Chain A
Amino acid sequence: MEDIFQGYKGRALEVLKKFNVRVWGKAIIDTSRGEFQGTVLPRAENDDDTHIVLKIATGYNIGIDIFTIKSMKEVGYYKATYKIPEKEFPYTPNLPNVKLLGTGGTIASRLDYRTGAVIPAFSPGELYGAVPELADICNLTTEKLFAVFSENMGPEQYKALAVAIGKEIENGIDGIIIGHGTDTLSHTAAALTFMVQNPPVPIVLVGSQRSSDRPSSDAALNLMHAAYTAGHSDIAEVMVCMFGPTSDEYGFLHRGTRVRKMHSSYRSTFRTIGDTPLATVNLKDGIKPIKETYNHRRKDRKVKVLPYFEEKVSIVYYYPNMQPDIIDSLVDNGYRGIIIAGTGLGHVNKPLYSAIERAKKKGVHMFMTVQTLWGYAHMYVYDTGRDLMAKGIIPAENMLPETAYIKLGWVLGQTDDPEEVKRLMLTPINDEITLREPYNGYLIYQGGVPEVEEFIRKFRK
């Protein structure tokens, strides 16, 4: 049965029932603050139970305090159907075939009244209705694999995605887009880099920082850039495609293993760390490579899918005065791998030594990364580093902590042999460890410095 009091609970629900007024009912409400008229809207589930939401004639929403209500009368009923106009996605013979795999996220979305949040719109028809330019770029088909927020993505989803990608490649697709929330987009990108090796076509992860229910959303442009990359790019790798600058100018293609979300809300939040992005993309100039070497698109269908993951792996972000029980509790809880994000060149304090030794004895695999994000773990420089290595911690070079976490989970899903684990961890699959760090790989502009200010003023941000 349809819920005619959508989202209302407790005292507000009692009031609606008492006066026999439904959600979407047009109501005249007499209150101690005067008369109000409008359509009763659903209420967000987490909001209180002492107000009723009304859409008034001018289109605004207001809340009515139920304690002021003297009487209510339903005088009409109009239920809104919120639907992105669905038009059949046109097929164009000479355009590449691209598959969009959905995981959730807000690449295209609509409002949900119960939570006040946005719900993804997804079918090719809906996407075409929202972003008609897509039809000029590729022939798009879609499949919704899951509908989860970014933070709920995990090993099960990584594995299912890898298998689905393998199947699409086998079926001859020209490129794959994965729609994804941005919070853990880079984790998934790393996982897919390890699980789907040697792909013959681009695999492009894309999201949006501003939900697509707003006119200035980055969603449409990101989606167009991703579709263009998936369909036309020569780069056959797992990539993240998101805004380069915050302006509507071009997107970056980041390697799945070196990319990180660096701002909680900026559009240009994704950055390649310790290296340069692979390329830029926009619809006017196409793909412009920045990196000279990358894996090229191929005609064959030889892809290696390795959907493995050991879930008992953790990251420990070191802080001063960390106590050994942090490590002990992981070991006691059966964790088999620990990535440490250490200070400076890869350090932790002395009190942890005993816990580390104990973990090593129990066969826990431990790797050191750096919380500076940029730079390598160099554990020979100071005694502490040497001590830690002697106790069994292996420096993971310049692998990003999150990438190392994903990789260790993936490795431990395949083997428990310490030598093999070490070999797999330190053998890069796609630049999660780089041999060299280029000088333009570390660029954090310090605002306020005259030359930076001049640069910023000259180029669109």
Chain B
Amino acid sequence: MTQKKTPGKHFDPHKNYRDTMKAIGYVPRAKATQSDYDRIGFKSGLEVHQQLKTKQKLFCRCPAGVYHGDNDYHAEIIRHMRPTLSEMGEYDGTALMEFKTRKEITYRINNKTTCTYEIDDTPPFPINREALEIALEISLLCKLNIVGEVHITRKQYLDGSIPTGFQRTAILGVEGEIQLKNKKVGLIQLSIEEDACREISDIGHKRIYKTDRLGMPLIETVTHPQCLNPDELREAADYIRFLNRSTGKVRTGIGAARQDTNVSCEGGTRVEIKGVSHNKWLPELSHNECFRQWALLHIKKLLLERVPDPQKWEMRHAEVDPYSLSLEHANAIGFAEKGYKVVAIALPEFHGILSHFTQPGKCFTNELSDRLKVIACIERPNITSDEDLNDPLSENDATKLAALLKASPNDAIALIWGPDEDIPTALETIDERCRMAFDGVPRETRRPLPDGTTLFERVLPGADRMYPDTDSAPIPLDEKYIEKLREGLPVDIWTRYQQLAQMQIPEDSHAYILRRNLVPVIEEIVALGFPPRFVGALFGHRLKRIEGKYPMHNDFTYHKLVDLFRFLKDNKIHHSLAKLMLPVIYQHPNMDFNSVLTSINFKRRTADELLAPVDYLVEKFKEIKIAKKDRPENVVNWVMGQLHKQALGNIDPAELYSRIKERIG
């Protein structure tokens, strides 16, 4: 050890990032197989949030589903949150973390959507029975054991997203299941709860919310962590979504359904990714989270090799003046100019850890940086080091700081900055997170990003944050009431899948049909005597494409199609014409069906009339044909193409085809 290695010298953080990514055996999701997931012990479950379609909010009489802009408010109210004890006598970890952040929370209130209840200036009114009933129906569909008495519970949230500091929520059922293609996934519970505020901004110590969504009825369906690969997770999420929608009593649209997913790897910890608004994002997010944990376990192994007794590990720090030290790092100098404190930190034996791979494009430094932002309220950039992937300390800077901190070559050197009063929390935060690295994976909730990676959001709350709502009385659910609800339930989603298969409706349209709860509509049309396969494809293919192309008229409902088919039947028009009529009806649902026919230039023709020009067309085809091989199908297909449009509604296209074929011989 005579030859002293200067930190930073000959060390390429990017190479280290790539090497460590390889060392843990990271594979991108496109290339990952079940054996990869088995190797790292992928396990995940879901918490699916679904807003219910009620007129009013859950615990007050404000309208539900009315939203307003960020600056459209009548009053502002400011609150701070303090942790309280749970009824089991414990303080909750998240609660203490949020208290540490000392946030000032402002609520923007609009009188149209918010009363004194939302802002915790009046106790709750009795629970919205309409919402309770919808939630119970869904609980029954999930085959849950329904409780005998509903107890409103307070679930503590100190981030300010709910002005009371807790969410009123209640369990309706426990231990149910859903049937996926290849397995059953167990459900832990289903609860009814009030939705939270929408965040407007969160900068430094100030966070602003609006209260329009606050208090809207929501259910949360929680699965056991039984999904063993990202695709199963997606399938389970879709299943629950379709199930919720099959009642026709839940909200749809942006933000009406949101998923949290719990992910862990073998030896890892349950980490919750919160607020995933699209199911299609779940696979990538869960994949990356599982590998992030796998990487953190690798970091743990490396650290324990270097520091067998983590109790003795100690971080060192010193406040620095970037000017007198003539530091080169632009951020450090810029922030010092703003009056921020700049602090150098030595993390013993962390050399090579800060740039250790954690997620695609991210390394262990991000774990620190995210927490500095959330816990110490220091906006990013808030940290750099000689291992930073984007804006590292120069070798000169690193050498100076290493000397200042008497760091050894195996130590990592970092620099942080921030407002004076936030520095103590910042140092505590870094110390705490580094110590956690010796234990592996911290329990936390994470925020999803569009690129499939996640950010630290807060410490994962435990059961310690629950306590009974002393403002509400328990609500008994007697047998008669439950039985009555059971009688009116819609068909099970698993049964729906089987029905769709039986009706030979193309599989690629199943998701579309179930997401919109269209089976009952299809059944109605089929009952009129139309072929299921055609009707299914009309929805799952044709309508799907139309939806992507044209804006939907406000008055359009899927039920319009029942009227359409009834019209076709009554007028003895072949159902194939529905394909042409649909785009018109979609955009002009109030148009009379006869006018629709006019607008698409439909003319009634007999089969003979349709087939009359065949000979002429055959001649024409000979003139324009380009294919060298003159196969008989070519001419038939071409003629069919010419006649197809006018034939729609007049004759079954298959019949037309065979008659053309006959004629041409």
Contact = CB atoms under 8 A, between A and B. Distances in A.
Interface string A33-69: 1111000000000011011010011111111111110
B82 A220 contact: yes
Contact of A63 (B116, B120, B462, B476): B476
Interface of A: 31, 33-36, 47-48, 50-51, 53, 56-68, 80-85, 110-111, 113, 116-118, 209-217, 220-221, 245-249, 263-267, 453, 456-457, 460-461
Q: Which of B77, B148, B150, B157 has the most CB of A within 10 A?
A: B148
Given A62-B149, A457-B73, 15 more contacts: A31-B148, A47-B474, A63-B148, A67-B479, A80-B88, A82-B89, A116-B468, A210-B164, A214-B84, A214-B164, A215-B81, A266-B121, A456-B75, A457-B76, A460-B77
Contact of B175 (A34, A67, A457): A34
B78 interface: yes
B572 interface: no
Given A36-B174, A56-B171, A453 B164 contact: no
Q: Which of A63, A67, A209 has the most CB of B within 10 A?
A: A63
B465 interface: yes
A59 B470 contact: no
Q: Which of A66, A113, A116 has the most CB of B within 10 A?
A: A116
Given A48-B476, A51-B474, A111-B87, A60 B170 contact: yes
Interface in B111-168: 116, 119-123, 144-151, 153-158, 163-166
A53 B171 CA distance: 12
B83 A215 contact: yes
Interface string B465-488: 111101001101111001000000
Nearest to B172: A62
B262 to A, nearest CB: 12
Contacts of B155: 59
Contact of A111 (B95, B156, B470): B470
Given A31-B145, A65-B148, A453 B468 contact: no
Rank and list the top 7 A-B pairs by shortest CB-CB distance, nearest first.
A63-B149, A215-B165, A34-B145, A65-B148, A59-B463, A59-B466, A247-B78
A261 B3 CA distance: 78
B395 interface: no
B384 interface: no
A53 B151 contact: yes
A110 B85 contact: yes
B369 interface: no
A59 B147 contact: no
Nearest to A43: B474
A265 B84 contact: no
13 contacts: A31-B148, A33-B147, A51-B474, A53-B149, A56-B174, A58-B466, A65-B148, A82-B89, A212-B84, A214-B165, A217-B82, A249-B78, A461-B76
A220 B165 CA distance: 14
A162 B169 CA distance: 45
Contacts of A34: 144-146, 174-175
Given A215-B156, A453-B74, A246 B119 contact: yes
Interface in B477-511: 477-479, 482
B151 A63 contact: yes
B75 A457 contact: yes
Contacts of A247: 76-79
Interface string B92-126: 00010000000000100100000010011111000
A60 B169 contact: yes
Nearest to A66: B148
Contact of B465 (A31, A56, A59): A59
A267 B149 contact: no
Interface residues of B, number: 69
Contact of A58 (B84, B151, B463): B463
A211 B466 contact: no
A59 B462 contact: yes
Interface in B596-648: none
Contacts of A51: 148-149, 474, 476
B478 A65 contact: yes
Given A247-B79, A460-B76, A83 B474 contact: no
Nearest to A266: B121
B476 A457 contact: no
A266 B79 CA distance: 14
Contacts of A263: 121
B79 A216 contact: yes
A143 B154 CA distance: 32
B581 interface: no
Q: Which of B89, B165, B174, B465 has the most CB of A within 10 A?
A: B174
Contacts of B91: 85
A214 B154 contact: yes
Q: Which of B82, B144, B478 has the most CB of A within 10 A?
A: B82
Contacts of B149: 51, 53, 62-65
A214 B468 CA distance: 11
Interface in B169-201: 169-171, 174-175, 188-189, 191
Nearest to B158: A215
B653 to A, nearest CB: 53
Nearest to A81: B89
Contacts of B95: 215
B121 A246 contact: yes
B29 interface: no
Contacts of B465: 59
Contacts of A117: 470
A291 B166 CA distance: 39
A61 B463 CA distance: 11
Contacts of A116: 468, 470
A214 B167 CA distance: 11
A455 to B, nearest CB: 10
Interface string B564-595: 00000000000000000000000000000000
Contacts of B89: 80-83
